[in-house]
Amino acid sequence: MDARERVFLALDHKQPDRVPIDCWTTSVVDEKLLEHFGFSTREELLRHFDVDFRYITGPKYVGPEPVVRENGHIEDHWGVPRVQVDVQTSVGKASYKEVRDFPLKEAKSVEEILDYPKWPRADWFDYDCVADQVAEAQATGKVVVFMGDRMNRCAQLKPAMYLRGIDQIFFDLAAEPEIAEALFKKVSEFYLEYARRTFEAAKGGIDIFMMGDDFGTQKGPFVSPAMWRQFLKPGFAAYVELGHSYGMKVAHHTCGSIRPLIPDLIDCGLDILNPLQPDVTNMDHADLKKTFGDRLCFHGSMSIQKTLPFGTPDDVRAEVARRFETLAPSGGFIYCTAHNIQADTPIENIEALFEAYQELGRYS
């Protein structure tokens, strides 16, 4: 059975030969794995692990030159300055770009939000490269996914946090709802046009459109279901509808404990939920499968907070086996980690993970 047949059977809630496999890693982990196996490209690595998905990067930014502030911080295309942070882990260095300043934090009115001079435009991107990316991904015979990078992943709440500040946007939801609504509308308008142009350029070659917006903490959703429906559901539903209008399955990545929101995600037409983060409260996998598994496919679930970095290869294998037993029956499940495998993960645990996927994820 090839990758495409395998994945689409699983998405149709049927059992293929084995659970489909996806691979999320940081660039630092990729470098370590390439050196370990003696490979020169990530494609070689994905083939080695028999991964069923290929992600395209999407449109290329060709807009105004990024602003470099006096302190050296570089603004992204939202006008949000990014700071590179280097972290020393037990197995080497990892680098991340963090947000410390929020350009719309002091805005006091809807007019100030709308008049922000640095709203991005879909015209700032070159979409011609998408067709070549799709063709290259299709040539592998795998399922083609568009997710975008961290700055261009269809979302609402996370960009609002970057622009307004985490504390301020939640204050807005409760005390200044018109400001929050204006901010979410501007964000979603950009992403809808950006995504639409991407899908047009792909000419039907994208199989799965994956959004990404964190709705949960370790203990529960950031906001109540009623507040999510009021502020975020309209934009979320519009993203899903756009993806479906181009014949794609639609997936969504959200970290955290978000069980109370899942009925609304399904009501919006969501096909695939990622990542079923295991190390949070109220996200029992057996309960999620029993309650929502006939209407929603699950993607992810492997712990990057505990098992992969701190467990043994045997611990990793045991977790893979538990996920198969709980989430794989009747299809509707894709093996993947709950987020990108991080730099503090031992190579032997990563090898054990993909070996266990193959060995323990077979239906017959």
Cα–Cα distance, 183 to 164 (Å, whole number): 9
Catalogue all structural domains in the chain, each as residue range(s) with its CATH number.
3-65+103-360 (3.20.20.210)
Please give the pLDDT value at position 87. Answer: 76
H or E element at residue 210: strand 208-212
pLDDT along the chain (364 residues), means of 10: 98 98 96 97 98 97 92 90 77 73 96 97 97 98 92 92 96 98 98 98 98 97 98 98 98 98 98 97 97 98 97 98 98 98 96 98 94
Residue ranges of the alpha helices (H) in the chain?
3-11, 27-37, 42-48, 110-114, 129-138, 157-164, 166-175, 177-202, 225-231, 233-245, 262-267, 285-292, 307-310, 313-327, 347-360
**pLDDT for 225-259, tens place per residue?**
999 999 999 999 999 999 999 999 999 999 999 99
Residue 133's Cβ-side half-sphere holds a number of Cα atoms within 13 Å equal to 22
**pTM for this one?**
0.95
Please give the pLDDT value at position 88. Answer: 73
H or E element at residue 143: strand 143-146
